[in-house]
Structure 1
């Protein structure tokens, strides 16, 4: 069995599998290690769908990365032969000065992106199944849509392997150690050496980065698929993805994939998780109470008893922005963590960034605002 590699990647969810694609395309001998099965449902890269958008309200500096991600998702669709992205548009509703609406407008203005203001009457006319709260403003981004999350991960595995990557399932990493010439990675099955190491372990990143002074907090999140009938799920209805910033939380959802239910989740909140390996996967009535309140208020045609539910994990950084950098004590080690529930849409461009950092020590892509150094000055990204 081969024991020495150009790069080892720990974690093969959305980010790690994307890094394997990019490394293998560059001719690197890459070993990817995943503790679960491919496209598993134990972490953060599952649950059928993820929103993808460009008018990024979290911070306008993400926009150049998103534009590159759109290009790379298109390439992955071509290389894999899978349909990964569906353009549905995105309706954002919230107070005019709230993070979502004001932030989307700011990103659109700074980057020259199309974003349409909608009056309450226009929202009611175009999307009559939504009940916009009093005092809300709304914007609509036509280029937004959703990604088929498990298909995206499977596509990464498929393309990486076709390009020569060795990807292994059910091989958990025990620890890693830097050496004078590279790194040593020990798993439950064996020990491997590599010139470089990429850590993209999602909710399991904390123990692998324990020598760094970086806060990573894991929270448990619940999504629900709620029955609904009527025009919202009619095959000819152009239902968008949607994000509502309410006074009691932020909620998002998707068009119906099955013609019978809609997926809804809360972006805010979350139950702290001590150990992602032992997180409670049983969904309790109080787990869906906020989703039920949201539906009763905004999508009253939907039933409030879910047909099914799913548990996933967010890994939150201190400021809810990504943390991507070289290890300050080990130049051959790079990592990406703390995607804070809004990272999946970036997977292919983060894979490109990680490959650049691992092989070249730097990247031309604009990620400076996501590095460790920001925490030295208080942990806030300037707007």
Structure 2
């Protein structure tokens, strides 16, 4: 019996891959999706209940047009599915006035007219009673920011992709792939598949599948913490917001308490480099959560410093910590979304649309030149 030939195959169905499969299927593309784990699993980067979404993008103002489209697409997905995925509760940004966080957020505001409120020092205690903000910091508040329900977002993209006709296979590991003529042959532990186009969104496993790519990707073990609240000032129901603080100790971010008992927070940019994602240590190591505890003791007095729960995820870091979204420089017809460097989930909806553009048309109208591989040449 001849093997079916798909228009496009997506390897990796996490945050970005699930969205790519969804957008391809909606366009009538005969799409195959392959995932080595279960749907919306907790073994990669797209898990942990929540992810911040924001528009005043301090990492680079060129992200702003993409995040604005991401908001639109998440709203469309909510309407299609009937599920709430995005919760707008606002975002507190605090740090030294000359720091990347404040300077970058204000630049994005200036260039793209993003709503961003400067908060006077005299108002800090009333506006943010759960935080001890040092003298000399600047504070801004982004009212349209908030968070995404991460596993539910992945599941919804997968469910809607299947409803639109995508053939999604789980618990099936891709061993390798090769190009034969104008087709790709994808070898898995069980069988081979054929597709005309290939999209790789494999997260921490990208380098294993694209070892010919001359851009190094570093995988980092990052610890997420859930700590007990000692006041209702952090509660979402009481107006609690997300937060990101740039401090001398490091950069830390977190969320309002969703249950009135604990809240989630983590260090951005911390963690341990790992050589092999399959050997990631998921159990607690000595020192896990220590820097978060130090941050809490200095800046969040109504939060217990010692975590009640921890989880591990992976950052896949590009050399400049910006995304890689492009066609393979040497192999026509293979596209990648990789190196999301710990700030990519909020873009999953639009990255899926972009990769669907590339996988079906070979081009996209979205402004992604700053994310292309040519910047490393």
For the residues of structure 2 that align with 1:64 and 1:144, how far apart are their CA atoms?
Answer: 15
> Cα deviation per residue 1:262-314 (whole Å; 9 max; x = unaligned)?
10100022201111111000122401000000111111111112111100000
Deviations 1:108-134 (Å, cap 9, x if unpaired)? 100111111112222211111100023
Could you say which residue in structure 2 is the equivalent of 1:230?
Answer: 231
Q: Distance in 2 between matches of 1:178 and 1:226?
A: 49
SS of structure 1 residue aligned to 2:333: strand
Pairing 1:269–2:270 present: yes
Q: Residue 28 of structure 1: SS of its match in structure 2?
A: coil
Displacement of 1:231 in angstroms is: 2.6
1:186-207 Cα shifts (integer Å, max 9, x gaps): 0111001101000000000011
Distance 1:74 1:320 in 2: 27
Cα pair 1:317 1:338 within 8 Å, conserved: yes
Correspondence for 1:345: 346
Runs of 4+ in 1 over 6 A off after TM superposition: none
Deviation, structure 1 residue 234: 4.6
Are the counterparts in 2 of residues 94 and 244 from structure 1 also a CA contact under 8 Å? yes
Mapped partners of 1:235, 1:136: distance in 2? 25
Partner of 1:160: 161
Aligned position for 1:111: 112
CA deviations 1:304-338 (Å, max 9, x no partner) are: 12111100000000000001110111111000100
Is residue 2:316 matched to residue 1:318? no
Q: Distance in 1 between matches of 2:229 and 2:344?
A: 29
Residue of structure 2 equivalent to 1:53: 54
CA distance in 1, matches of 2:363, 2:236: 47
TM-score by length of 2: 0.98
Within 2, Cα distance between the matches of 1:118 and 1:16?
38
Could you tell me how far apart the structure 2 residues matched to 1:207 and 1:234 are? 42
CA distance in 2, matches of 1:335, 1:239: 37
Matched, 1:97 2:89: no
Q: Give the aligned partner of residue 242 of structure 1.
A: 243
Contact 2:236 2:258 in 1 (8 A): no
> Cα distance, 1:34 vs. partner?
0.3
5+ long unaligned stretches in structure 1 = 377-383
Distance in 2 separating the partners of 1:233 and 1:56: 24
3-state SS of paired residue (2:238): coil
Q: How many pairs were matched up?
A: 376
- Name the structure 2 match of 1:122: 123
Could you tell me which residue of structure 2 aligns to residue 135 of structure 1? Answer: 136
Distance 2:65 2:11 in 1: 26
- C-alpha separation in 1, matches of 2:183 and 2:298: 56
Q: For the residues of structure 2 that align with 1:324 and 1:207, how far apart are their CA atoms?
A: 17
Does 352-361 or 240-249 show the bigger shift? Answer: 352-361
* Kept after mapping to 2: 8 A contact 1:233/1:260: no
**CA deviation vs aligned residue, 1:37-78 (integer Å, no higher than 9, x gap):** 000000000000000000000000000000100000001111
Mapped to 1, the partners of 2:277 and 2:12 lie a distance apart of: 14
1:381 corresponds to which residue? none
Cα offset, 1:28, TM superposition:
0.6
Counterpart for residue 4 of structure 2: 3
Shift of 1:98: 0.3
1:153-191 deviations in whole A, cap 9, x for unaligned? 000111000000011110010001112122110011100
Structure 1 position 66 matched with structure 2 position 67: yes
CA distance 1:285–1:237, shift in 2 (3 Å)? farther
Q: Superposition RMSD on alpha carbons, in Å?
A: 1.1
Q: Distance in 2 between matches of 1:120 and 1:215?
A: 43
Partner of 1:370: 371
Contact 1:3 1:191 in 2 (8 A): no
The equivalent of 2:171 in structure 1 is 170
Q: 1:278 & 1:201 partners in 2: Cα distance?
A: 16
Q: Secondary structure at the match of 2:310?
A: strand
Which runs of 5 or more residues in structure 2 are unaligned?
none
